[in-house]
Amino acid sequence: MNIDVIFSANEVTKEKVQGKIVVVIDVLRATSVMLTAMKNKAKEIRPFKEVDELISYTKDMKGILRCGERKGVRIDGFDLGNSPQEYTEEKVQGKIICMTTSNGTNALVNSSYGKKILIGSYLNMDALSKKINEIGEDLVIVCAGTDGEFSLDDSLCAGEIIKRLNYRTLSDSARAMYMIASTPGTLKDKLKATRHYNFLKELGETKDLEICFSIDSQNIILEYKDGVIRK
């Protein structure tokens, strides 16, 4: 297994992912929310890059929830935002989640040319790593990043996943993330000074940070295929 890491949604191209297993990561908070929603029995998730696209798609649909954020805040008129605390079983069970976020849904849609596209976060690293090792094919880890830029919260998660894999070769970006993940310290120690971590703290979302950094708290594998995320 050869492993590469891409550092933002904007860097994803067809050539980089085609024919490879792809793991998309947006720790804070889209992929953590997706895992939480599906754990709480949502029917499926449909990601969109643009707000207008989602609104047009869902205009005449029933049994759906319009979900998402811009600049960390729930989109006006939407049912739910981008906090895992909102996605309770009471709210999402049996529902189709139509979602757009600033970074994570872009990373997913941009990765559509991958051979098999899986959803990753700190929440499901153990289950995900076992699945990747079982498949045993070349892997690209796509970090959503923040507004087209490198984000350590996603990239550190990539490194933690790589530590658990039976790889043959690592690209320089993958090796760098492996090395960072291998340094001593807790997730909070490594991330507490980062931009996105402190942005969510300023929004008062400290509970979200705690949830999103709950390592291996879920045993779920989600796949994005034909525009839909399902178990």
Residue pLDDT, tens place only, 8-43: 999 999 999 999 999 999 999 999 999 999 999 999
- At residue 183 the predicted structure's pLDDT band, cuts being 50, 70 and 90, is very high
For residue 188, the enclosing domain spans 2-230
Q: How far is CA 6 from CA 16, 107, 229, in A?
A: 9, 10, 21
Rounded (to 5) percent helix, strand, coil in the chain: 40, 20, 35
Question: Tokens 């990539």 sit at which residue?
Answer: 158
What CA–CA distance (Å, rounded) separates 65 from 78?
Answer: 8
- At residue 46 the predicted structure's pLDDT band, cuts being 50, 70 and 90, is very high
154, 199, 36, 60: CA torsion to nearest 10:
-110
Amino acid at 34: M
Residue pLDDT, tens place only, 86-102: 999 999 999 999 999 99
Into how many domains does the chain fold?
1
Residue 61 has a pLDDT of: 94
Average pLDDT, the chain: 97
Question: Tokens 């989602």 sit at which residue?
Answer: 54
| 129 closest CA partner among 58, 25, 13 | 25
Mean pLDDT of the 54-76 span: 96
Residue 158 gets the label, from left (phi > 0), alpha (psi -120 to 50) or beta, of: alpha
Are the CB atoms for 127 and 218 separated by under 8 Å? yes
Mean pLDDT of the 192-201 span: 91
- At residue 44 the predicted structure's pLDDT band, cuts being 50, 70 and 90, is very high
- At residue 103 the predicted structure's pLDDT band, cuts being 50, 70 and 90, is very high
Question: Tokens 């990765």 sit at which residue?
Answer: 111
Any residues with CB less than 8 A from the CB of 115 and at least 6 apart, and which? 18, 19, 20, 21, 22, 137
Question: Tokens 């600033």 sit at which residue?
Answer: 102
Residue 18 has a pLDDT of: 97
The CATH number assigned to the domain holding 6 equals 3.90.1560.10
